[in-house]
Structure 1
């Protein structure tokens, strides 16, 4: 029998160090090169030398690719899809240590020397020798390394179940990789006669209250990003009541949105965070004594059971409430100063604005606007969304003053499989094995609180959700899309079981060594083998 390349804790640690050394910051050249290097790494396995057709690179966008690697048992159809991402956030916070950020062993030793600069928790972890520091060690190249180990073990030990490793770019920004992977998963399912029974992610454990409890997750929290363009009336600063500033309009909606409990929900005893403003700014490009009349804001709304359509309906209600209060206060100011109002602020959905603009200017004009904005490479999808709405409002100023409400990428639908029998059995099994073998206490959380690519499988939204999102997202099918119909077909349950770590996206990102290299390999292997025994019959 062939020997495993990644079977021992040391071999697995060496694999992680190699994966981390392939610097793969989102939208970097390293991210583009990572799946190519990974494909070459996996081709070292005897299984893929014998079955090269099961190892595939797939195109996504911006010359990026995602990778699938299939272990297929000849008598099995039932398949576990192992989901991971290989991109990481930036490393600017490492400063002079940037070159060491992707060399975990060296970085860990250097940080020990500088331990006094950090908090007591970090100092204790450095002194303990139980943690490995570095960008991507926790989030989430260890998860990928574990999946590679499972794939190798299955191929060497002939596990009676199929494993499909899927690893994608761009999870940290727009999940372009996973959104592109959804239709590919359906094609692979048909081509190789697969039957997905589980989508298993291995994102790391995110502490809930600064504790050291090991959590597993039977769902993932969702994210919707409603936005607003505030369009007032320009004037000279010396005659302020001859116009209406956009910051004045924006202040009313932001006050209503910030920490608004009407967006909060409780599911399985867990509660989503309150909404918060992610960005608010003036669109005026330079200084002058003309008052600002165009501003924008982005709001972060995390969801459990609400869809984008639900959030947008509530957002419209909140905007109307803000407009009523604004118009009342503004009317009183005008009365006190004996001036005529410049108008009442109205609330306009983006789909209403686009319909109005099409009737006034023609579809060809709208398409040109979108194409022009799309080619501004320095703008991301959020900026492009706001700029499209802005350009339409410039040509439709008779609608001002107004709050134009819209949706911007990314949209992560909430997903939850807590009531699924397979998931409940897996949760119970993992808890028992972790306790028996390692005296490790494992608790289940119903919604992973870090947002992840599992949002694009096991989707349960209805047509209203997709129609509302498409109609009110200005960049829809120009630079951003979601395969809603295909997502409905990927209806297997989801589960996230990953290694313990701390401080994702921070300079002190770190991974618990024993848990990652000794405990998690056993827990994942035994859970998958348990599923394979239960699923021998197709």
Structure 2
């Protein structure tokens, strides 16, 4: 066992002390500080070309990745293992009056002693084996573990028959510009140094799956994440004559009732099941108050996948939208008839039928009907819309659909289904290739060796359950699945673009061995030090040993 606790703890504190909230200048400060720290290691003083501070590409923000590599001297193998972890964090507004100490674990700990804490958090605070603070769990202690290992191997290159690449990327908490940019550096180094990438080890945090769960999890592969979005149109009317029109918010509410928490939309694979989708935004698109019902509404949902493709998800959600639309119309008719009965007003039949289109179906229809006039108009519209820097990719997509809808000849109530944000691909690690099988065997060997020295079960599962940059290290989807993303994202090629061919070119099997703790992204974010500072680096070390010995 490597005696690493104190050094990993020191690195963790150094990293946490630097506030590096995503989409702020703190990301730049973090990258430069990490680069300076690595520069101080003797190996990188002697081999400065093995260390790089690389700006992201196609990014609206100025920020950087930090990459380094150590070439082993034990043999002549080009086998290369990537150690990766993100340096950015979510914000600190949730700390309220404790914001000033959110990134100072020792000061925060003193302040929390005066707080009214849940019993479990108080027990952890008093134990002396838990560290609190923004980023300690997600995921600076993980980066610290990899920092320790790159330093260790820089001092012991004779233990490696192969190479180690270190990546600490920015922007994991938002758009993954960091890891997507790093793919290009990986490709350059592959060509320049003849690296044969055989495995990647991420160090993102792990947590209990349920209350009372004592397992410490290691994950092979990762969940995929989509953001299916729905633009909903109704029939406008004055609220005083509400049954002369159809409120799109009414349809949106029924759509959310149909999709939210729906177990039919959980994806099971290898005995593991995703959580069901849940709405992340639901709004109408009225710019201000009027006594007219809204013209349109907009709603999007988080959607996790294990084995389904983005095309599968569109098919399933189109069915769900049709069901919801039918339910909404039936309920509308029932309530309208009951109103007519009690009010004495005459009933007038409405001709509406459920109409659900994929964005690519609407696009094909409009191009067929309008040709270049539509194509040119939408290209100009998107370019003008890019000038509004306040629009994120999700609202940009909604505005594009809203504009396209104006060209529809049939404007009866409808739902348009599309993707409006980054697709983080799913990864299955099953042993189907020699590299996958080698990584699985190395992991099993490492757990077997380390488990006797740690009291809690170390358990391997198939899918990392949170969004992470692991998604961009390999690709399990075929081209048809990926094309469903690009064809149905209205901002594709303007506001949003991902070169998934870069991911497919790398295509390295990836696992996650990360710090253990609770309440990531919350005020009481904390990590267990014994596992995170001792077990995690040793597990990772054992995997590397097995792969590159």
Same fold (TM over 0.5): yes
2:134 is the counterpart of 1:135 = yes
In structure 1, the residue matched to 2:230 is: 228
CA gap of 1:342–1:397, structure 2 versus 1, over 3 A, is: farther
Partners of 2:320 and 2:494 lie apart in 1 by 29
SS of the residue aligned with 2:68? strand
The alpha-carbon deviation at position 292 of structure 1 amounts to 1.1
Contact 1:102 1:134 in 2 (8 A): yes
SS of the residue aligned with 2:482? helix
2:42 is the counterpart of 1:46 = yes
Contact 1:334 1:340 in 2 (8 A): no
In structure 2, the residue matched to 1:536 is: none
Contact 2:276 2:303 in 1 (8 A): yes
1:432 aligned residue (426, 448, 453): 448
Which piece of structure 1 moves more, 377-386 or 341-350?
341-350
Q: Deviation per CA, 1:200-222, whole angstroms, max 9, x where unpaired? A: 00112221113232111112111
In structure 2, the residue matched to 1:95 is: 96
The alpha-carbon deviation at position 8 of structure 1 amounts to 4.5
In structure 2, the residue matched to 1:36 is: 32
The alpha-carbon deviation at position 395 of structure 1 amounts to 4.1
SS of the residue aligned with 2:422? strand
Q: Deviation per CA, 1:80-110, whole angstroms, max 9, x where unpaired? A: 0111111101101111111101011111122
In structure 2, the residue matched to 1:63 is: 62
2:408 is the counterpart of 1:396 = yes
Gapped runs of 5+ residues in structure 1?
Answer: 1-5, 534-538
Partners of 1:235 and 1:459 lie apart in 2 by 48
2:110 is the counterpart of 1:109 = yes
The alpha-carbon deviation at position 177 of structure 1 amounts to 1.5
Partners of 1:404 and 1:176 lie apart in 2 by 28
Partners of 1:314 and 1:464 lie apart in 2 by 16
Map 1:15-26 onto structure 2 (within 5 A).
15-26=11-22
Partners of 2:95 and 2:311 lie apart in 1 by 40
Partners of 1:410 and 1:418 lie apart in 2 by 25
2:323 is the counterpart of 1:321 = yes
SS of the residue aligned with 1:220? coil
The alpha-carbon deviation at position 496 of structure 1 amounts to 0.6
Partners of 1:209 and 1:94 lie apart in 2 by 25
The alpha-carbon deviation at position 58 of structure 1 amounts to 2.3
Q: Deviation per CA, 1:106-159, whole angstroms, max 9, x where unpaired? A: 111221232xx1111001111111111100001001111111111111111113
Map 1:421-500 onto structure 2 (within 5 A).
421-500=437-516
Map 1:92-241 onto structure 2 (within 5 A).
92-114=93-115, 117-158=116-157, 159-160=159-160, 161-210=162-211, 211-241=213-243
CA gap of 1:440–1:328, structure 2 versus 1, over 3 A, is: closer
2:395 aligned residue (362, 383, 392): 383
Which piece of structure 1 moves more, 362-371 or 392-401?
392-401
Partners of 1:241 and 1:215 lie apart in 2 by 55
In structure 2, the residue matched to 1:3 is: none
TM-score by length of 1: 0.93
Partners of 2:107 and 2:333 lie apart in 1 by 65
Partners of 2:63 and 2:363 lie apart in 1 by 32
Contact 2:226 2:303 in 1 (8 A): yes
2:306 is the counterpart of 1:304 = yes
In structure 2, the residue matched to 1:517 is: 533
Partners of 2:168 and 2:520 lie apart in 1 by 19
RMSD: 2.0
Partners of 1:299 and 1:130 lie apart in 2 by 38
Which piece of structure 1 moves more, 157-166 or 323-332?
323-332
CA gap of 1:72–1:288, structure 2 versus 1, over 3 A, is: same
Which piece of structure 1 moves more, 258-267 or 350-359?
350-359
CA gap of 1:269–1:343, structure 2 versus 1, over 3 A, is: closer
Q: How many equivalent pairs are there?
A: 526
Partners of 1:258 and 1:107 lie apart in 2 by 37
The alpha-carbon deviation at position 439 of structure 1 amounts to 4.3
In structure 2, the residue matched to 1:371 is: 383
Contact 2:513 2:539 in 1 (8 A): no
In structure 2, the residue matched to 1:273 is: 275
Partners of 2:80 and 2:3 lie apart in 1 by 22
Partners of 1:343 and 1:499 lie apart in 2 by 54
Contact 1:434 1:441 in 2 (8 A): no
Partners of 1:172 and 1:311 lie apart in 2 by 24
Partners of 2:92 and 2:269 lie apart in 1 by 35
Partners of 2:539 and 2:354 lie apart in 1 by 58
Partners of 2:506 and 2:224 lie apart in 1 by 17
Q: Deviation per CA, 1:32-56, whole angstroms, max 9, x where unpaired? A: 3221221111111111112211212
Q: Deviation per CA, 1:225-257, whole angstroms, max 9, x where unpaired? A: 111011112121222233211112212322221
Partners of 2:349 and 2:25 lie apart in 1 by 57
In structure 2, the residue matched to 1:355 is: 364
Partners of 2:66 and 2:387 lie apart in 1 by 28
SS of the residue aligned with 1:415? coil
Partners of 1:24 and 1:262 lie apart in 2 by 39
The alpha-carbon deviation at position 441 of structure 1 amounts to 2.5
Partners of 1:110 and 1:433 lie apart in 2 by 39
Partners of 2:494 and 2:28 lie apart in 1 by 22
Contact 1:244 1:342 in 2 (8 A): no
CA gap of 1:322–1:441, structure 2 versus 1, over 3 A, is: closer
Partners of 2:486 and 2:537 lie apart in 1 by 42
2:284 is the counterpart of 1:282 = yes
CA gap of 1:376–1:523, structure 2 versus 1, over 3 A, is: same
Q: Deviation per CA, 1:1-47, whole angstroms, max 9, x where unpaired? A: xxxxx975333222211111111111011013221221111111111
Contact 1:345 1:400 in 2 (8 A): no
